[in-house]
Amino acid sequence: MTATPSGDSKSANVPDPIAEVSVRARLKIAEDKLTCFRDNLADARRDVRGLRRQNRRERWRELRSKVARAAVTTFSVALAVTGTIAFLLAVVLMVMGNFGDAKDALGVAGVAWGGASAIRRPRK
């Protein structure tokens, strides 16, 4: 606002229309920039959330594959050991003369070994 002399010797505060438009235009530009910055910030936060989610999924995928690999290996070894124990039991039962039970133990040994060999190991 500027002071302009009037016909009286008193001065009145009269707004300068050019300066007021300029201030309003600058305010509008500043508000537009602020809106743009807020939109960019929201986009950046959304991108960061997506990257965190992707990172978390990749870590879980890795962990699941490691656990699956370990579980398959453990289960396969357990079946092989079970088959070996059943086979040794069948031999002992045959030596003792209990051929019926030895036949069943040999069947269990065969199934356990077959299961151990049928399990597919996951790829690395």
The residues that bridge with 12 in the sheet, in sequence order, are: 4
Q: Is the four-CA dihedral 50, 56, 58, 60 of positive or negative sign?
A: negative
Q: In the block, which residue shows the tokens 């508000």?
A: 31
The average confidence (pLDDT) of the chain is 86
> Domain spans of the chain?
14-118
pTM: 0.55
Report pLDDT for 96: 93
DSSP annotation of 91 = H
pLDDT tens-digit map of 6-61: 555 555 566 666 666 688 888 889 999 999 999 999 999 999 999 999 999 999 99
The residues that bridge with 49 in the sheet, in sequence order, are: none
